[in-house]
Chains A and B, each alone.
Chain A
Amino acid sequence: MLTYLIKTTEGLLSASIMLGLILSYSKTNFDKRGKRVTLIGIVAGLAASIVMSIMKNATSKIDTGRWNLRIFSLALIAFVLFLLFTINGVRSRTKKAGEVLSEAALGVLAFTVLLYALPDVWAYPYSFLVTEQTVLSTDFLYKLIGYLLGIILVFIVGLAIYQGSERMKAAQSGLLLKLVLLVNAVRQITVGLQIMLAKRMIVSNHVLFSIAKFSSNHSDSFIYAAMILAVIIPIILWMRSFRVKEPYSNPAEHRKIRAKWRNTRRWATTAIITLFLCLMNMTVVKAIDNREVELSPVEDAVVKDGNVYVSFEQVSDGHLHRFGYVTESGTQIRFIVIKKPNSSAYGIGLDACDICGETGYYEKDGQVVCKLCDVVMNINTIGFKGGCNPIVISYSIMNGNIIVPVEGLLEYESEFK
């Protein structure tokens, strides 16, 4: 649940802030035609992102890196044109052509923002399904809830930024839009560089790779920069709301002005709260989600006559149980036991596999999962060789006990260092 809450927040937040500012700019500065162009850009971006998402997941036609380069190229050209034709001098000289081009550039920017941000987000439910196999599982539901909460959260951020931005002075909101687009442009250039280096489209050198490495390892900084710029909007509105000096001629007008600024403060508060929640998602919640799984402790088992004895009573509850044998050199050789579902048989194997080593297994929602590679084991195949299954060990069953020979365990001492 948390993973997809974080993924949707990180994936959509910058786009949401940009779209809020783009829509507000369009509403404030463009005439009917300009607003329509922005809307067309958004609708086309939504439609193209759905097509892209389907193509990415259902065909092998989409090389994401190459497509991102195309999207970035288009967005960067549109950004430069938008900057150029919104400079007062240029706009007044170019008149109608400049107007049309600045409107088209903003529409194209809205299109590229959505086409870049949305395809992966559309596909997340498909990836839950691949993992969970069915839409009827609790895990699928939790992941879906996290996913939807993330989308709702960033949507509210975008809405609050839009509402706040259109209540600001046009010059201020215009400047903020350009700064957010500039942050986006720098990010696109650095990600483009990473793609071109990885694809060997350009020859690497120390400077280029250093830029690519630094920008990749600090990629969250671009989202934080957009958030910092976005939070300026509610701060300015809050400050202005306490220094309102709008003239009024009667109490009704006064009440109207107060209501307007009360409403403005509400949008400002919404923006601050939702941006704060996004920040929490990307920091605190992410840290919680990424914390290392701790293996359950090794349980007591009787060791006598060169065997480890595990009684059925200890392991008949259907949960994963971990046992161990400490060798003369102090190495603890662990093994796991789990009663197989709808069966009286037990799955028994080392708490290690050939592929991931002694990393161990843990139980999550009734499933056995490898701690290193997160592969979910089929409980019925535990005890069989292959893949990430626990290493098979010899054992026997007698008088209500699982008997594991120490000699057999010692063969795998080197696995547990």
Chain B
Amino acid sequence: MKKRTIATLLTTALVASFAVAGCGNSASTNNAGDTEEASVDTEEVTAETTTDAAVAPGEEAGFTEYPIFEDEEVGFLNVSAVYFQPVPMSNGNESTDGFDIHLEADISALSNNLGFGVGDWVPYLTVDYKVTGSDGSTAAEGTFMEMSASDGPHYGANIALPNADTYSLQITIHSPEENGYLLHTDAETGPGGTFDEYFANGNLVVNYDGWEYTPQEW
């Protein structure tokens, strides 16, 4: 009888541990980064993994974003970078073969006199990315494409990043004017500013060092 009780208890513990393992929530840590306009060198970033905003509270979603850095301010822009599983996209980009992650830059407006509301996604940007390994070699580089996910529009790309390493990520943002974006210039309807106020010295650059990355099974 006693042994049967032990067996029952151990079996219960086995099942309970399975349930408990499934109940853990993602932990969060605190942010402690230095921010500079035009060239941001962030020593440490901490943020919680965030799930897709379209998912109801309490519901576990398959769409979990893994943060790289959050809320770096450069020019009139607030920039965050995340990654998650490579995703099929429209217009011939359906295959995810050969890709390890979907790298994404969320770029929204800070207070500005260019007509963008604070927090609005900023369109017409050319956004280049460069991922550099700890040995200084370029692991991936290119230009993001504009796209929409269930949590809204962003700049992103599926990339191959098969090796674990401590990477540096550089995001270079060109003026919307390069892609033909116009501003009203008259006193009555114009927002009052020009892109030159932010891009006169060239593109806006966010550098983040210390991205500890290991490939995930998606």
CB distance from A98 to the nearest CB of B (A): 8
Q: Find A63's partner among B48, B64, B88, B92 (CB 8 Å cutoff).
A: B64
Q: How far is the CA of A194 from the CA of B216 in the complex (A)?
A: 8
Q: How far is the CA of A16 from the CA of B46 in the complex (A)?
A: 40
Which residues of chain B in 1-32 are interfacial with respect to chain A, using CB atoms and an 8 Å cutoff? Answer: 3-4, 6-7, 10-11, 13-14, 17-18, 21-22, 24, 26-29
Q: Is B66 an interface residue (CB 8 A)?
A: yes
Is B163 part of the binding interface, using a Cβ–Cβ cutoff of 8 Å?
Answer: yes
Determine if A127 and B7 form an interchain contact, defined as CB atoms under 8 angstroms apart: no
Quick one: which of A69, A213, A374 contacts B97, CB cutoff 8 A? Answer: A374
- B17 and A73 contact, CB distance less than 8 A: yes
A386 in contact (CB, < 8 A): yes
| Contacting residues, chain B, for A33 (C-beta < 8 A) | none
Q: Check if A375 is an interface residue, CB within 8 A of chain B.
A: yes
Residue of A nearest to B147 (CB): A387
Chain A interface residues toward B at CB < 8 A: 3, 56, 59-70, 73-74, 77-78, 81, 94-97, 100-101, 104, 108, 120, 127, 130-131, 191, 194-195, 197-204, 209, 212-214, 216-217, 354-357, 372-378, 386-388
Interface bracket on B: 35 or more
B81-114 contacts to A, CB under 8 A, are: 85, 88, 91-98
**Once the chains bind, are B62 and A199 in contact (CB under 8 Å)?**
no
Note all chain A residues with C-beta closer than 8 A to B117: none
Known: A131-B95, A213-B214, A387-B92. A73 touches B21 (CB 8 A): yes
How far, in angstroms, from A114 to B211 measured CA to CA in the complex? 33
CA distance A205 to B88 in the complex (A): 34
Closest B residue to A62 using CB positions: B62
Contact B60 A204 (CB under 8 A): no
**Cα distance, A78 to B3, chains bound together (Å):** 19
Q: Known contacts A200-B26, A201-B27, A209-B212; is A61 also within 8 Å of B93 by CB? A: no
Q: Which 4 residue pairs are nearest across A and B when measured between Cβ atoms?
A: A73-B21, A97-B7, A216-B164, A97-B3
- 30 CB contacts below 8 A, A to B, read A60-B63, A64-B216, A66-B22, A68-B217, A73-B18, A74-B21, A77-B13, A77-B14, A77-B17, A96-B3, A97-B10, A101-B7, A108-B14, A127-B96, A194-B214, A195-B216, A199-B27, A199-B49, A199-B64, A200-B29, A201-B27, A202-B27, A203-B29, A212-B164, A213-B214, A214-B164, A217-B163, A354-B143, A357-B143, A378-B92
**Would you call A374 and B29 a contact (CB within 8 A)?**
no
Partner of B98, one of A191, A213, A374: A374
Assuming the contacts A194-B216, A199-B64, asked whether A388 and B93 have C-beta atoms less than 8 A apart, the reply is: yes
Whether B3 and A95, one on each chain, are in contact in the complex, defined by CB atoms closer than 8 angstroms, is yes
Q: Report B-chain residues with C-beta under 8 Å of the C-beta of A214.
A: 164
Chain B residues with Cβ below 8 Å from A387 are 91-93, 145
CA distance A97 to B7 in the complex (A): 5
Extra A-B contacts (12), CB below 8 Å, given A195-B216, A200-B49? A61-B62, A65-B216, A74-B14, A74-B21, A96-B7, A130-B88, A130-B95, A198-B214, A200-B27, A209-B212, A375-B93, A388-B93
Report yes or no: A375 in contact with B48, Cβ–Cβ below 8 A.
no
Min CB gap B9→A, angstroms: 10
Are A200 and B28 in contact, with the CB atoms below 8 A? yes
Q: What residue in chain A is nearest B61 (Cβ atoms)? A: A60
B3 interface neighbour in A94, A198, A201, Cβ under 8 Å:
A94
* CB-based nearest A residue for B5: A97
Whether A200 contacts B164 by the Cβ 8 Å rule is: no
The distance in angstroms between the C-alpha atoms of A100 and B29, with both chains bound, is: 43
Chain A residues with CB below 8 A from B49, complex form: 198-200
Q: Is B122 an interface residue (CB 8 A)?
A: no
- Name the distance in Å between A139's Cβ and chain B's nearest Cβ: 11
The residue in chain A whose Cβ has the minimal distance to the Cβ of B179 is A354
Q: Chain B residues near A204 (CB, 8 Å)?
A: 212
A-side contacts of B164, CB under 8 Å: 194, 212-214, 216-217
Residues of A within 8 A of B96 (CB): 127
Q: Does B183 contact A (CB under 8 A)?
A: no
Measured in the bound complex, the distance between the Cα atoms of B49 and A195 in whole Å is: 12
B192 at the interface (CB under 8 A from A): no
Is B22 within 8 A of A216, CB to CB?
A: no
CB distance from A223 to the nearest CB of B (A): 14
Which of A73, A198, A213 has the most chain B CB atoms closer than 10 A to its own CB? Answer: A198
